[in-house]
A and B are shown apart, each in its own frame.
Chain A
Amino acid sequence: MNKITNNKAWFLVLPVFFIVAISAIIPLMTVVNYSVQDIFDPQTRFFVGADWFRQVLEDSRLHDALIRQIIYTGSVLFIEIPLGIGIALTLPRKGWGVSACMVLLALPLLIPWNVVGTIWQIFGRADIGLGGYALNMIGMDYNYSQNPMDAWVTVLVMDVWHWTSLIVLLCYAGLRSIPDAYYQAAKIDGASNWAVFRFIQLPKMQSVLVIGVLLRFMDSFMIYTEPFVLTGGGPGTATTFLSQFLVTIAVGQFDLGPAAAFSLIYFLIILLVCWVFYTVVMNAGKREEQ
C-alpha cells in the first residue's frame, strides 16, 4: 500500500495550537516562571529554586485555609449530591409539571456568582433582609458579619441554593433514560422501592453522577466570589478559602513568587483529586466482576 505523505494537515492544527498556547500554556508557564524566581523588574530577577514552594507549604495560614476548604467542599458534596438525587427522584415524569419544574430548577443556575453573593448578603441582613430578619425574630442571634459560624453556613447555603439544581438536572436526565420496562420487571419481581433505587436507578445514574461530583468538587474547591461579596473572607478568616488566601498574597501583599508557587500547588491538588476520583469510580465497576 502506498502511503501519501502530506504535511499540510499541520496547518489545520495551528489555530488550535495558538489558542491553547495563548489561553493556557503561556499563562501557566508565566506562573511557573514566577514560582522559581524572585522578580523585582524585568532586569532584576534572582533564581530562588524551590524556596517559594517551601515558604508557602510551611505557612500555617495556608494549612488553615486548606482545612477550611476541605471541610467546605466536603459539606457541599455531602449535601448537594444526596439532595439532588432526592429531588430528581420526586420530580414528575410527565405532564405540565415537568416543564414547570425544569424552569424553576434552572433559574438559580442562570444567576452569576457575584449576584448570588449580593442576593444572600442582603437576604441575610437582620435590618433589611427577609432571611436575617426572620431568623432574628424567632430568637436566633444570626449575624454573618460578626459570627464566623453564621458566615460559613451562609456561604454553604448559598452554594447549595445555587448549584443543587445542576445535580438535580443531571440525575433527572439519567433517570429519564431508564426504559419503563426496567420498572415493570422490578415490579413483577416484587422488588421494593429501595431495591429499585439501589439496583436500577443508582447504577443507571452512575455516569452522570460522576460528572456531577467532579463539577461540584472543582467548582466549590475554587470558590471565590461568594465569600468575597458576602464578607470578603471574614469575619476574621472564617470564610477565607484557598482562592481568598491566594488573592490576599498575590494582590493584597503583591508577593508574586509565593502566590505563583501556591497557584501551582492549588492546580495540582484539583487535578490529582479529580484524577483519583475518576479512576476509582470508573474502576469500581470492573473490580466487581473479579
Chain B
Amino acid sequence: MTLTLENITKTVGGETHIDDVSMSLEPGSFNVLLGRTLAGKTTLMRIMAGLEPPTSGRILVNGNDVTGMPVQKRNVAMVYQQFINYPSMRVYDNIASPLKLQGVDAAEIERRVKSTAELMHIEHLLDRLPQELSGGQQQRTAMARAMVKDCTLLLLDEPLVNLDYKLREELREEIPNLLAERDTIVVYATTEPMEALLLGGKCAVMHEGRVTQFGPTTQVYHNPAFVETGLIFSDPPINLVKADVRDGALYLASGHQVPLAGHLSALTDGQYTIGVRANHLSVDQTSAECVAMQGQVELAEITGSETFVHVHFNDVSWVIQEEGVHNPRLGEAATFYVDPKRLFAYDANDRLVAAPPVEIQNGKAA
C-alpha cells in the first residue's frame, strides 16, 4: 500500500497545526518524523491514521481517496509515548485483542500471539497483568499488540521517550530489524536526531506544522536544506553565525575572515548565515586552513566519552564537541578552530546553498 498525503492542512480554532503537507510513503518503508515538541508530528500521525480529519487536503491509499474513512476500517496500528495496554487483561489477551475484534479463529490467534510475543521477547510474560511489568515490558506488549495484526500502516509516536536509557537503546536497535521484510508503512516520530540516524530509512523534518524536508535520513542529515532543519537535525543544534561574502572572501560577523575554497567557492557576494556542527569544531588546530576563534567558556557538559564545551563570543554561544572528558574552568578564555571545509552556507532566505561534501562531514578532523 502506498500512502499519499495531498496538501493536508489542519487548523484548530484559528491556529494552524499542519500547514500544507504533501508526501508519499512507499510500502515497506521506514519513515522518521523528526521535529521538536509541538511541531505537529502527533497531529500528522493522527491524520494519517484517520483519528481526525484534515481541515483540507486528501489522503490516498493506492490512489483511492480514504480521507473520510474511519480509523477502524483502515487497518492501522499505533504505539504511543505512554504505555497503553488494557489494564485488566493479561498480556496474552492484550496482544490478542485486535485479532479477537477482527474475528480471527482461536488457533490462529494463539499462533500469532505466540510468535509476536517471541519476536518482542515477552513470551514468558503472557500470563501477567500490565501493571506487573516494567516500563520496557509494557511498551513491548503495546508494540506486540500493534504488530500482531499485520496492519498496513504502523505509527509509532515517540515510543521510547518514557523508557530509561538502557531499555531505549535496546529497543531502538531492535525496531528496524523487527519491521524489516514487512509491507507495512512505518512512521516513527521522534525529537532526537540521534534516534533518527540510528533508525535510518527516510526522514521528514517537521517545523511549525510543515514538512521542510523529506528524503533518505543520511542525505537529509548531510544536507539540511534550511537553517531550521540544521537546528533540528543536529544535537547539540548547529552553531550559527551571520556572514558576508565580498572581495572573494567570507567575513564572519565575529570579525574572522575565511577564504572561499572548496565547496564555498561558488558563493556570490551577499549576506549569508554560516552553520557548523559541534563535532566539526575542534580545540586543536587540525589543518593549516583552520581559522582560530576565541571565546569564553560558559559551560561544560560531559556526556559519556565526550564533552560539550559552550563558548561565548560576540553575543553568540557555540558548542564544541570534544573527545574525552574535559573540565575547562568557567569564564576561562578558549581558543577553538573552524575548518572552512566543514561550513554549511545558507542564503538570506535561510536556504542551503553550500554543504560540505559527505566524505569530509563523515571524516575525522584530519
- CB-CB contacts of A155-191 with B at 8 A, as 1s and 0s? 0000000000000000000000001011011011111
Name the 4 nearest CB pairs between A and B, nearest first: A190-B72, A203-B88, A181-B80, A203-B87
Question: B87 is contacted by which of A184, A187, A200 (Cβ under 8 Å)?
Answer: A200
A17 within 8 A of B: no
Cβ B98 vs Cβ A288 within 8 A: no
- CB-CB contacts of A256-287 with B at 8 A, as 1s and 0s? 00000000000000000000000000000100
Q: A181-B84, A289-B129 are in contact. Are A187 and B90 (CB under 8 A)?
A: no
B18 within 8 A of A: no
Taking CB atoms, residues of chain B closer than 8 Å to A191 are: 97, 101
Taking CB atoms, residues of chain A closer than 8 Å to B71 are: 187-188
Cβ B127 vs Cβ A289 within 8 A: yes
Taking CB atoms, residues of chain A closer than 8 Å to B46 are: 184
Cβ A188 vs Cβ B78 within 8 A: yes
How many angstroms between the C-alpha atoms of A288 and B86 in the bound complex? 14
Chain A: which residue is nearest B74 at the CB level? A188
A68 within 8 A of B: no
Cβ A187 vs Cβ B51 within 8 A: yes
25 CB < 8 A contacts A-B: A179-B80, A179-B84, A181-B81, A184-B46, A184-B78, A184-B80, A185-B78, A185-B84, A187-B71, A187-B72, A188-B49, A188-B51, A188-B71, A188-B78, A189-B72, A189-B98, A190-B101, A190-B102, A199-B86, A200-B86, A285-B88, A288-B88, A288-B90, A288-B129, A289-B127
Taking CB atoms, residues of chain A closer than 8 Å to B82 are: 179, 181
B105 within 8 A of A: no
B76 within 8 A of A: yes
Q: A288-B129, A289-B90, A289-B127 are in contact. Are A189 and B84 (CB under 8 A)?
A: no
Taking CB atoms, residues of chain B closer than 8 Å to A202 are: 88
B77 within 8 A of A: yes
How many angstroms between the C-alpha atoms of A284 and B324 in the bound complex? 55
Cβ A185 vs Cβ B80 within 8 A: yes
Question: B84 is contacted by which of A182, A190, A285, A289 (Cβ under 8 Å)?
Answer: A182
How many angstroms between the C-alpha atoms of A202 and B89 in the bound complex? 12
* Interface hits, B60-101 → A, CB 8 Å: 71-72, 76-78, 80-82, 84, 86-90, 97-98, 101
How many angstroms between the C-alpha atoms of A199 and B129 in the bound complex? 13
Taking CB atoms, residues of chain B closer than 8 Å to A184 are: 46, 51, 78, 80
B256 within 8 A of A: no
- CB-CB contacts of B94-116 with A at 8 A, as 1s and 0s? 00011001100000000000000
How many angstroms between the C-alpha atoms of A120 and B90 in the bound complex? 49
B121 within 8 A of A: no
How many angstroms between the C-alpha atoms of A199 and B89 in the bound complex? 8
Taking CB atoms, residues of chain B closer than 8 Å to A204 are: 87
Total cross-chain contacts (CB, 8 A)? 56
Cβ B80 vs Cβ A188 within 8 A: no
Cβ A289 vs Cβ B88 within 8 A: no
**Chain A's nearest CB lies how many Å from the CB of B159?**
11
How many angstroms between the C-alpha atoms of A204 and B90 in the bound complex? 15
Taking CB atoms, residues of chain A closer than 8 Å to B89 are: 199
Which B residues fall within an 8 A CB radius of A?
Answer: 46, 49, 51, 71-72, 76-78, 80-82, 84, 86-90, 97-98, 101-102, 127-129, 132
How many angstroms between the C-alpha atoms of A190 and B72 in the bound complex? 5
Max chain B CB contacts within 10 Å: which of A181, A191, A202, A204?
A181
Chain A: which residue is nearest B132 at the CB level? A289
Which A residues fall within an 8 A CB radius of B?
Answer: 179, 181-182, 184-185, 187-191, 199-200, 202-204, 285, 288-289
Cβ A188 vs Cβ B76 within 8 A: yes
Chain A: which residue is nearest B83 at the CB level? A181
How many angstroms between the C-alpha atoms of A187 and B71 in the bound complex? 7
Taking CB atoms, residues of chain B closer than 8 Å to A288 are: 88, 90, 129
Cβ A188 vs Cβ B88 within 8 A: no
Chain B: which residue is nearest A178 at the CB level? B87
Chain A: which residue is nearest B142 at the CB level? A185
How many angstroms between the C-alpha atoms of A70 and B303 in the bound complex? 66
How many angstroms between the C-alpha atoms of A289 and B101 in the bound complex? 23
How many angstroms between the C-alpha atoms of A191 and B98 in the bound complex? 8
Chain A: which residue is nearest B129 at the CB level? A289
Extra contacts, 4 of them, besides A189-B72, A203-B88 (Cβ < 8 A), are A185-B78, A191-B97, A191-B101, A200-B86
Taking CB atoms, residues of chain B closer than 8 Å to A179 are: 80, 82, 84
Taking CB atoms, residues of chain B closer than 8 Å to A203 are: 86-88
Max chain B CB contacts within 10 Å: which of A188, A190, A199, A200?
A188
Chain B: which residue is nearest A187 at the CB level? B71
Taking CB atoms, residues of chain B closer than 8 Å to A182 are: 84
Cβ B129 vs Cβ A189 within 8 A: no
Cβ B101 vs Cβ A189 within 8 A: yes
**Chain B's nearest CB lies how many Å from the CB of A241?**
36
How many angstroms between the C-alpha atoms of A228 and B61 in the bound complex? 70
Taking CB atoms, residues of chain B closer than 8 Å to A285 are: 88, 129
How many angstroms between the C-alpha atoms of A285 and B88 in the bound complex? 8
Chain B: which residue is nearest A192 at the CB level? B101
Taking CB atoms, residues of chain A closer than 8 Å to B129 are: 285, 288-289
Taking CB atoms, residues of chain A closer than 8 Å to B84 are: 179, 181-182, 185
Max chain B CB contacts within 10 Å: which of A179, A199, A200, A285?
A199
How many angstroms between the C-alpha atoms of A187 and B132 in the bound complex? 25
How many angstroms between the C-alpha atoms of A184 and B98 in the bound complex? 13
Taking CB atoms, residues of chain A closer than 8 Å to B80 are: 179, 181, 184-185
How many angstroms between the C-alpha atoms of A290 and B337 in the bound complex? 65
**Chain B's nearest CB lies how many Å from the CB of A205?**
11
**Chain A's nearest CB lies how many Å from the CB of B360?**
44
Max chain B CB contacts within 10 Å: which of A181, A187, A189, A288?
A189
How many angstroms between the C-alpha atoms of A181 and B132 in the bound complex? 20
Max chain A CB contacts within 10 Å: which of B76, B81, B98, B128?
B98
**Chain B's nearest CB lies how many Å from the CB of A132?**
46
Max chain B CB contacts within 10 Å: which of A182, A185, A200, A204?
A185
